[in-house]
Structure formats: structure tokens, C-alpha cells
Structure 1
Amino acid sequence: MTVESTTERVLRVLALLQSRPSWTGVELAEELRVTERSVRRDVERLRALGYPVRATPGVGGGYQLGAGTRLPPLLLHDDEAIATAVSLRLASGSTIAGAAEAALRALTKLDQVMPPRLREQVRAVYGATETVVGAGTEIDADVLIALARACRDATRVRFRYTTRHDVDDERTVEPVRMVAAGPNWYLMAWDVDRDDWRTYRLDRMREVTATTWRFRPRKHPDPAAYVQRSVTESPYRYIARVRLHAHAGQVRDLVPPQVGRVEDGPDGWCVLVVGGDDLDWLALHIARLGFEAVIVEPPELRQAAALLARRLSAMATVTD
């Protein structure tokens, strides 16, 4: 076996160890198509480079990548390396599709291998830096890292949560994925006590603690679609479905994903689903889009739109 092929395999071992919390020697050997003896030698090469690979013997044991005493060279996928550089620009207000999630994966890897001394220096920089950002809510980096690890490792999380109605209680969840929607971050998770899927805003969480309870991942809906549906529909008294004479892409350019959901339709029409507590506001919001519109539901919105039309018509009437 050549030195080059050995180097490539060692890098593959590192990538596998970073992809999940634990691997057995048998699993690594099967994945790499080598013997367990070769795996042990590759692990020793990683340790010599400074990677803190832990080995646990016995049934249920295996190899784990732990926190080290010094920061070794990092293996990042291309999208993570790009996202890390791009995230430095995000503080100045730039927005790049998909960068947030990739940057969070990289941040989780960095935090996993970063020794306490460097981690404290990073936090000192955070504490001494002010960033000018757009509308939105700042999220504690420790909360992001804790939830990212819990999603990756399939461990339950416990936290205090304040609802939009100012109800405060403790939640225990099985996290699946974090989703950035507009200015806010959300967690999609299975609520253990309520026995159902739920969406939680990260800025309303406190005392976030990852437990040692591992869970078997459940079959779940698409996280991005579920969060968008929860954000645009669940909190509101009225849910409007409106057919618009426009292509879906045109409407999506005008309606942020945290405000409304746009469904594709035939013959140059699409469907906008948007929630609100005020019918007049909904009618005005839809009219301001500037497209031919047909209100599908609710009937109360049709009545509000008709009343608004009469008022606008009266305002436009010229009197002597």
C-alpha cells in the first residue's frame, strides 16, 4: 500500500469520525474495506497528528473524536470551508442562500475539537465585539452548538420555553433539525410530553441542556416545510387561501417564507396561504401584491375585502 493511499484513507477515517459520535472498529473496517488492524494503525496516525481519538473497549465500545489539548489541522468539506469564510461576511449584513446551515456544521466541528483555552478566547472576542445587523433576534452561539450536537447525536434536550402568549414552562424534546426562516431560528422536534411534533423559536429558549438520553430517530415531515407551515399558519386566528394570477416565483419574491406559503398552480396561477388575526390587514396585504386575486377561504375574508373595496371606492369619489 502506497503512502498516498494511506494518507487518503486516514483522511477518510477522520471524516467518518466527524460525521457521527461513535464508530466500532468493525464498522470502520467495513466502510473503508480494510482490516481492523489497518483501522487501528490509521487511528494511531491521527493521534500523532494531534487528533484526540478515544477508544472504548468491550461491547458497545468504539472510536470517538474528543476535545484535544491543541487544535490539530481540520478536515472540512468544501461547502463548509466556503461557508466558514462567508459567515465572516454575514456579520456585515450579507445574505447567502444555504450558508447559515453549512456554517453551523463547521462551527460544531470546530467547537468539538477546540481546547478550553481557545474556546475561552473565542468567547472573549464575541463579548468584545458589537455587530450591526438587520431586523432579527440574536441567538446565543452556545445554544446553536448544543442543539446542533443534539440533532446530530440523537439525544434529548431539556429547556425552559416562553410561548407567544407569555406562558413559561419546561419542555423535553427529541430534536430533528434547526431551520433559519427570515430573521428567526426555529427548532423542529418531537415533544415528549405532548406526543407530537412542535416548532420552537430559539430566542424563546432558556437553560438549554442536552441530556444523556439517546433516542431512535422517528420518521418525520420535511423540517423546512413543517417549520414554514407552523410559522405562517399555526399562530393565527384566520388562515387565508388565495388564488393569484401570477407565477409562484413572482409571489415568493414579494412574500417572505416566514409570512406566507406559495403553492404552484396551473395556467399561470398559484395559491398563497397566509395567516393573520386581522381580516382587514389580510385583505389589504393581498391587494397590495398587485395581482388578480380570488379568495378561496375563509368566507369572512371575502366579506372584509368587499367592505374594504367600498371604502376605497368612496374615498376615490369626487364630490362637489
Structure 2
Amino acid sequence: MSDVTERTLHLLSLLQSRAVWSGEELAVQLGVTARSVRRDVERLRRMGYPVHAAHGSGGGYRLGAGRALPPLLLGADEAAAVAVGLRLAAASSIDGLGEQALRALTALEQVLPPAARAEVTAVTTALEVLPSARAGIPGPTLVILAGAVRDGVEARLDYERADGHRSTRRVEPYRVLTIEGRWYLFAWDLERADWRTFRLDRMHEARASTFRFAPRPTPDIEAHVRAAVARGGRAGRVIVRFSVPAAQLRPRIPPTAGTVEADGEDACLLHLAEADLRWVAMHLAHLGLPVEVIEPAALTQAIAELGEWFDRARGVGAGTG
């Protein structure tokens, strides 16, 4: 392979790895002059790759969308990772994605070299993903929001709350993530001037704008979203303390039920948002750990009533035995 061809392929891999590159940055990465970068860009364009150039502040080179998808540069490990992702996508809750993912997986396997094909086949054969029973989300919604996060632009949502109220929300999107098979958007709500978590399956429409926003300091995004999922629109606040490390309790608490916060090295606090204190008492009993009620005081009474029920049930069992 000639040096020019190798450099051109390296340029292509760089353009695929990031949204925008300045000419100076590409020259440094390739070890050539800016003039050579311009010649290599023209060479890619002749090969069918739509490389766009913009001048001025914030400008540079970027790989655009063409009429047909040009070849992508994937190593064996990357191809295996893509194959795994396609296999998972085929069983996802994203509407209309399953058939497209399987077609893409078939096309990928046809062009792989033998060693990479064997690795992909071994990985995908070992996978078995059960379809999600969650409500599906439109595939374009996920793509639009992920693109808005990547580009740092505002988005507008036609959103329906749990109580059925619909409204238009203008947000600065920061992360799209999935928890227990359900997709969420973590964003700054511009009208409410606060962080919000939105479920994608409650979005009737999502539109990305061209208005860029300056990134804000974010809280722990995963913890914030898990706390919002745990609240789930329920009224009531419950805090209990366990004399075990947070790492020991956290795997036993689903993110939809509550969040665990360390309280020193050997204790932790469990935060719940649930109006039915009898439900809380029952699940605390299921954990089988000594517990201290922080709030509300009514939870202590609910635990006592549950204990009385167990005593009566045990007494009935002994009498009939």
C-alpha cells in the first residue's frame, strides 16, 4: 500500500471518529502540511465520500451524508462489537428496528474477512436476547435525540406526562440512556430552569434545532436519572437506614424502586418515593436486614402492623398443625 493511500485511509478514519476537524488538527495527526490535507480531502471526495468544509470560527472538515453509504473502516474487534450491537438491537423495544438490524448484520457478515467473520459468528451464536415487553419507542426519536446530544443543540419535545397532560418542552439534551429496558433523556428544561428526566416512550415527537447551547455543570447523571425513575411520579418520601455497606445493598434494590446512598463505610440510606407504606414495610421485611426508620414516622407503625400480621399468621399455622 502506498504512503498516499495509507494516509488517505488514515484521514478517513479520523473523519469517522469525530464530528469536526480543523485543517491544522488533521495536518498534525497525519504528519503533513495543510496543503496535503486538502489534496487528500479531494481524493476522498472523488472516491464518493462527502467531505464538507466550512470556514471561520468553529469551521473545519466533517464527513457528511451522501446519497449512498460509503465503505466504513472497521477492524475485527470493531466489527464484532457492531455485530453484538445489531443482535441486541434486533431484540430491542425500538419500533421497526429489529428487521433492519438483522439485514444490516447479514450484510456485515458477507464482507468480513474469514477471521473476523468467525469471531462475529461465535459471538452472535452465543447471544440469546429475550424481546422486551416494554412499550416500544420510535426509532427516529432515539436517533434525533442522540444527534442533538452529540451536536450540543436544543430540542423540542411533544411530551405526555404520566397523568396524560401534554405540553411542548424546550430542552438542552445531555444524555440518552436506558435503565431496565426503558429509554430516558436527561436534559435541562429551559422553561422550568431545572434538570429533568423524560421517558422516550412518552414522546409524541422530538425535533432537534440548530441553536447551540453552552454546556452546564451536570450532577451525577446516572444517579439523577435513577432517582427520578425511582420516584416515578409517586407521592411520599421514605428514608431508612441499614447497617450494611451501600455496595452490599445496592444490587438488591431495583432502580425503579429506590436509590441507595452510602452513610459511612458500614451503613447506607435507602431513599424511596412511595405513598403505600404497607408496600414499603413488606419489601423491607423481604430484605431481611435490621432497619432504622428515618422518615416518615408512620412507616414505623406500618412495620409494626405487618409484624402483628406475621404473628397472627404464625399462630394460626401452629394451631392447625
TM-score normalised according to structure 1 size: 0.77
Q: Residue 283 of structure 1: CA displacement?
A: 1.1
Shift of 1:243: 2.3
Using the TM superposition, give the Cα deviation of residue 7 of structure 1 relative to its aligned residue in structure 2, in angstroms.
5.4
Question: 1:151 & 1:91 partners in 2: Cα distance?
Answer: 20
Deviation of residue 248 (structure 1)?
A: 3.4
Mean CA deviation greater in 188-197 or 76-85: 76-85
Deviation at 1:44, TM superposition (A): 2.4
Structure 1 contact 157–209 (Cα < 8 Å) conserved? yes
Q: Post-superposition shift, 1:19?
A: 4.3
Match of 1:126 in 2: none
In the alignment, what sits opposite 2:197?
199
CA contact (8 A) 1:50 1:71 kept: no
SS of structure 2 residue aligned to 1:242: strand
CA-CA distance at 1:58 after TM superposition: 5.4
> Is residue 157–residue 173 contact of structure 1 (8 Å, CA) maintained in 2?
yes
Letter of the structure 2 residue corresponding to residue 69 of structure 1: R
TM-score (ref. length: structure 2): 0.77
- CA deviation profile, 1:154-174 (whole Å, cap 9, x unmatched): 111112100112111001111
2:240 to 239, 242, 245: 242
- The amino acid that maps onto 1:270 is C
Compute the displacement of 1:11 (Å): 4.5
The separation in 1 between residues aligned to 2:213 and 2:198, in whole angstroms, is 19
* Partner in structure 2 of residue 287 of structure 1: 285
Label 1:298 to 1:40 Cα distance change in 2 as closer, same or farther (>3 A). same
Is 1:151–2:149 an aligned residue pair? Answer: yes
Q: Is the 8 A contact 1:24 1:61 kept in 2?
A: yes
Which of 183, 186, 189 is the equivalent residue of 1:188? 186
Aligned to 2:208: 210
Q: Which residue of 2 aligns with 1:21?
A: 19
Query: 1:209 aligns to what SS in structure 2?
Result: strand
Matched, 1:138 2:136: yes
Distance 2:169 2:221 in 1: 19
Q: Equivalent residues in 2 for 1:46-61 (5 A)?
A: 46-57=44-55, 61=59
After superposition, the CA RMSD in angstroms is: 3.1
Q: In structure 2, give the amino acid aligned to 1:259.
A: A
Query: Which residues in structure 2 correspond to 1:1-320 (within 5 Å)?
Result: 3-4=2-3, 9-30=7-28, 32=30, 34-57=32-55, 61-76=59-74, 81-90=79-88, 133-233=131-231, 235-266=233-264, 268-318=266-316
Question: How far did residue 183 of structure 1 move?
Answer: 2.2
Distance 1:235 1:164 in 2: 7
Letter in 2 for 1:161: Y
Give per-residue Cα distances to partners, 1:108-162, cap 9 Å, x unaligned. xx9xxxxxxxxxxxxxxxxxxxx96133222211111111110000111112100
Q: Are 2:243 and 2:267, in contact at CA under 8 Å, matched by a contact in 1?
A: yes
Q: Which segments of 5 or more consecutive residues in structure 1 lack a partner in the other structure?
A: 95-99, 101-106, 111-130
Inter-CA distance 175–306: structure 2 relative to 1 (3 Å threshold): same
Q: Would you identify which runs of 4 or more consecutive aligned residues in structure 1 move more than 6 Å?
A: none
* Cα displacement (A) at 1:176: 0.4
Give SS of 1:288's match.
Answer: helix
Query: What 5-or-longer segments of structure 2 have no aligned partner?
Result: 95-100, 105-128
Aligned equivalents of 2:158, 2:60: Cα separation in 1:
34
